Structure 1
Amino acid sequence: MPLALVHSRALAGMEAPPVAVEVHLANGLPGFTLVGLPEAEVKEARDRVRAALITSGFEFPAKRVTVNLAPADLPKESGRYDLAIALGLLAASGQIPAARLDQYEFVGELSLSGELRPVRGVLPMALAAARAARAFVLPLADGAEAAWVRRAHPDTSILPAASLLAVCAHLHGQELLAEQPEPPPPAPDAYPDLRDVKGQAQAKRALEIAAAGGHSLLFSGPPGTGKSMLAARLPGLLPPMSEAEALESAAILSLGRQFRPEAFSRRVMRSPHHTSSAIALVGGGAQPRPGEISLAHHGVLFLDELPEFDRRVLEALREPLESGHIHVSRAASRADFPARFQLVAAMNPCPCGYRGHPRRLCRCTPDQVARYRGRLSGPLLDRIDLLLEVPDLGAEELQATPDGESSAQVRQRVVLARERQLQRQGVCNARLEGSELEYHCRPDADGAALLQQAVRRLDLSPRAYHRVLRVARSIADLAAAPQIGAAQVAEALHYRRNETPG
């Protein structure tokens, strides 16, 4: 039969659309034509496939070969189609049986010796294959990653293979590929402990509130006061991820080749350098890929030295902070990536870092300080829930033994507070909008009077006003209070006393 059809998968944002690899053999001068909007690395498959077939002991057909990657309007990139193209050639030339090909989906890059090399994005492709009720054949090195699909689809068949010969032996029924075993239980969380941080009781309290309600947080203070150390403790305070959240996070990390099977269900913390570009942070490229904000989905995005980031990069955060999604549009493609991250940022109070320091002299002029703070726009600061100064520690506190509660103790309160939110409104407090916000975050009479007075004195914008309500609701949930009172409003206002802390 001169025509064969093999199933594979492409990547388009978070989706893994099906790709039909059609191989046709015709009489005429030998040639190899690859169509279907292939990128350069896909076009190079003709040479990899030819060498892999010959070195594996198969015959490369001396005919006019046409390979079509359908649908034709979907861009194709990477070497993941090598295995499907090679099997299509073998089936069309009668060297392997074509009858069973429809039961499988194949991805994998071929080496010249016929071995299968790993590809990116295996997890979303395996999820799509499971929904299509087909067995998924992939490189041996990717098997442990794809195995996590079986947590959501236990009947899925994951068949890792070391080489083209192993796949062909399976299709011939000579030596079947072994099923990828069930993944082991996730390793215990290994987060840094909050107890290691000396002093800074107020900053620890802010971390607890942020974790309870899913709020964004900005620390300001001199160098060496523990801002980065505090931020690194936030993932360990957050509630455990659900199975669906863990799979979503793992799928995005798989797209960026960042997934580690042993870290499944562990909250991610991404810390891009302040020289990162807008595309690195929010995603993009000719074939859009997830940026740092999507790789931090269901985790923490830590931006150290916040004013040192390019202003256009920071402004790109405004939409995903509100919506939890990022939409990347290009001339030939469009991709939507989830970006439900928790932002934690840190900054110095001035360019030299020592403004207001009790022992170090600040040499910055008022104009330098104003320019430094002016790098953060009002609309961006408006979207940050908690603004807090982290003071310098004295010698007595530095020499003291670690004090305070451990991350496990704080996490217990956070989990209970988050459960109250989910039972009451279905989402964490940071995501309350519109009428639900007004209904669930309504303060009592004393709290409403205090808030009304604060709006006038602090000149809070409507967005900042609503953020105060959300934070106050989280404080009330930590205290198991059914309604927001004046004490919760006062504490929430404390974190917005100055829109530019420091």
Structure 2
Amino acid sequence: MSFSRIYSAQTHLLKGKIVTVEVDITKKTLHSFTLVGLPDKAVDESKDRMSSALKNSGYESPKNQNQKIVISLSPADLKKEGPYFDLAIALAYLLSAEEINFDPEGRIFLGELSLNGELRPIKGALPLTEVAKKLGFKEIFLPIENASEAALVDGITIYGAKNLKEVIDHIYIPKRDRKGNLLEKERERISPHPKTEIIHKEKTNNIDFSDIKGQEGAKRGLEIAASGGHNIAMSGPPGTGKTMLARVFSQILPDLDKDDCLEITGIHSIVGLLEDAIITDPPFRAPHHTASYVSMIGGGVNVKPGEVTLAHRGVLFLDEFPEFEKKVLESLRQPLEDNIVSISRAKGSAIFPSNFILVAAMNPCPCGNKGNKQKDCICKQGDLDRYKRKLSGPIMDRIDIWVTVQNVDYEKLSNDIQEGEKTETIKQRVKNAREIQNKRFRNAARKINTNSEMNVKELNIYAPLDEATKKLLNQSAERLQLSARAYHRTIKLARTIADLEGSENITQSHILEALQYRPREN
């Protein structure tokens, strides 16, 4: 056999793509080694890695023989990136050169080869395994470090290998005589990797909500935000605990379900940020205010997800909110409204998920002391106007809750007694409110997890108002000059407040509390 075909895969955007590796060898001719199929530099260099790995694994290097080798990676119009194909190329070469015999059908081979034949871990093992299972493959071979991640997928056998020789020994079909007797002994096989269970570990929190003195209004706002998936902004002088509140906020979010765990793990695996086999806690992303537009939204020459996608199903914390570039802030419009981000470039377009809770923290003015009872504001009117213009009306409209975080009395700060509620107590109330929402949206026409995700049509179904409550809202909206978006977001917020109280209907008190969270100035 001078021709062989083996299957591998690579990540493309946030999904996996199956790549067919074909090798054709023409012997007794001048040496030539060609790799075609739109490879990038890392893929092209696999010829050298594969040759050395084979030599150091007990086989003859392809570069030492007078033969023409053509390796094709298809589909040819898909740019091949990364070291995913090293293992598949090495095995396809050995099969084509008739140095080993095995059945490649129904198998996927992934992994980067070191020069001594060891397998190195790859990015995106989970989405690659998912697409392999979806397309009917029965077995997948990949580096042992990626096996636990891949074993999250049911219905496909996972084999984690340490080196090239282990894979060859497992798939090798020994030679037999005409009577079917073995001419060589069986080689050692790899044991299938056990299924990885999703276990929510107990978290040890350094800071508890009860450790934060005062700020009851901000704590209430954060509880509502966590319960309904609402965006929140905190404004106040420096050093009042805004950042601390934001960081402890992620601790009251409910645990992720299985589908969300797999989705988030896949995203972080593709980007290369996966530390454990699976992510079970909502992500918390806190980019610096100097972050660029591309790092926030995603993009680049080869389109990659940005912070808004890495925060999917979790929290995006933007400290010093107005200090971000205007372009970066305005780019948040689509993610905050549609829970997706659409990236269009000359080479193509991509749609990434971005359903996160925005937690913004900011000072009321450049010096930070506007409204501070302890210090005077030294900002000029022009400075205040410029600072105010950094946040546009459309961005402010998309934030449901605006709370003020004021200075705490020194006596309260020095009090050693924990007066506030524990994180676990607040988290239980948030969990109860989310369970109410899950029951409410169980039979919805589309998948909805929280009140904040409802559209106008769904508001009429799941958040109806009686005549008196509707009249109060209309009068208040006219007085506050609310936009249509802010009007509907107020109803969603009131629905969440009602859920926290266990109320089946939205009352006037719920509407009034929701209205008080609108920004005082616009």
Instruction: Specify the TM-score bucket, using the shorter chain as the normaliser.
Output: over 0.9
1:341-490 pair list within 5 angstroms: 341-400=356-415, 401-426=417-442, 427=448, 428-490=450-512
Work out whether 1:84 is the aligned partner of 2:88.
yes
What is the TM-score when the length of structure 2 is the normalising length?
0.92
1:146-225 pair list within 5 angstroms: 146-149=150-153, 153=154, 155-172=155-172, 174-183=187-196, 185-191=199-205, 192-225=207-240
**Alignment-mate amino acid for residue 125 of structure 1:** L
Distance between the aligned counterparts of 1:193 and 1:260, measured in 2? 25
Distance between the aligned counterparts of 1:45 and 1:332, measured in 2? 25
Distance between the aligned counterparts of 2:354 and 2:145, measured in 1? 28
**Alignment-mate amino acid for residue 408 of structure 1:** E
Q: Which residue among 125, 139, 146 is the counterpart of 1:142?
A: 146
- Is this contact kept in 2: 1:350–1:369, CA < 8 A? yes
Distance between the aligned counterparts of 1:262 and 1:82, measured in 2? 23
Work out whether 1:327 is the aligned partner of 2:328.
no
Q: Which residue among 267, 270, 295 is the counterpart of 2:310?
A: 295
Distance between the aligned counterparts of 2:407 and 2:472, measured in 1? 31
**1:9-30, CA deviations, whole angstroms, 9 ceiling, x for partnerless residues?**
1211121011101111124321
Give secondary structure in 2 for the equivalent of 1:229. helix
Distance between the aligned counterparts of 2:356 and 2:46, measured in 1? 38
Give secondary structure in 1 for the equivalent of 2:16. coil
1:64-79 pair list within 5 angstroms: 64-79=68-83
- Is this contact kept in 1: 2:3–2:96, CA < 8 A? yes
Residue 271 of structure 1: how far off its partner (Å): 0.6
Work out whether 1:126 is the aligned partner of 2:148.
no
- Is this contact kept in 1: 2:149–2:277, CA < 8 A? no
Distance between the aligned counterparts of 2:208 and 2:193, measured in 1? 35
- Is this contact kept in 1: 2:108–2:137, CA < 8 A? no
- Is this contact kept in 2: 1:270–1:300, CA < 8 A? yes
**CA 1:246–1:314 in 2, change beyond 3 Å: closer, same or farther?**
same
- Is this contact kept in 1: 2:265–2:278, CA < 8 A? no
Q: Which residue among 97, 111, 115 is the counterpart of 1:93?
A: 97
**CA 1:330–1:254 in 2, change beyond 3 Å: closer, same or farther?**
same
**Alignment-mate amino acid for residue 465 of structure 1:** Y
Residue 291 of structure 1: how far off its partner (Å): 1.0
- Is this contact kept in 2: 1:187–1:262, CA < 8 A? no
Number of residue pairs matched? 495
- Is this contact kept in 2: 1:186–1:264, CA < 8 A? no
Distance between the aligned counterparts of 1:480 and 1:183, measured in 2? 37
Gaps of 5+ in 1: none
Distance between the aligned counterparts of 1:139 and 1:499, measured in 2? 56
Distance between the aligned counterparts of 1:35 and 1:329, measured in 2? 28
**Alignment-mate amino acid for residue 416 of structure 1:** N
Q: Once structures 1 and 2 are overlaid, which stretch shifts more, 260-269 or 15-24? A: 260-269
- Is this contact kept in 2: 1:83–1:107, CA < 8 A? yes
- Is this contact kept in 1: 2:149–2:278, CA < 8 A? no
Distance between the aligned counterparts of 1:104 and 1:463, measured in 2? 51
- Is this contact kept in 2: 1:187–1:263, CA < 8 A? no
Distance between the aligned counterparts of 1:68 and 1:402, measured in 2? 67
What is the TM-score when the length of structure 1 is the normalising length?
0.95
**1:445-487, CA deviations, whole angstroms, 9 ceiling, x for partnerless residues?**
3322221121111111100111111100100111111111110
Moved over 6 A (4+): none
Q: Which residue among 109, 120, 125 is the counterpart of 1:117?
A: 120
- Is this contact kept in 1: 2:40–2:81, CA < 8 A? yes
- Is this contact kept in 1: 2:85–2:112, CA < 8 A? yes
Residue 440 of structure 1: how far off its partner (Å): 2.1
Q: Which residue of 2 aligns with 1:24?
A: 24
Identity of aligned residues (%): 42
Distance between the aligned counterparts of 2:223 and 2:468, measured in 1? 25
Residue 441 of structure 1: how far off its partner (Å): 2.2
Residue 320 of structure 1: how far off its partner (Å): 1.3
**Alignment-mate amino acid for residue 122 of structure 1:** A
Distance between the aligned counterparts of 1:66 and 1:334, measured in 2? 32
- Is this contact kept in 2: 1:222–1:391, CA < 8 A? yes
**Alignment-mate amino acid for residue 194 of structure 2:** P
Residue 183 of structure 1: how far off its partner (Å): 2.8
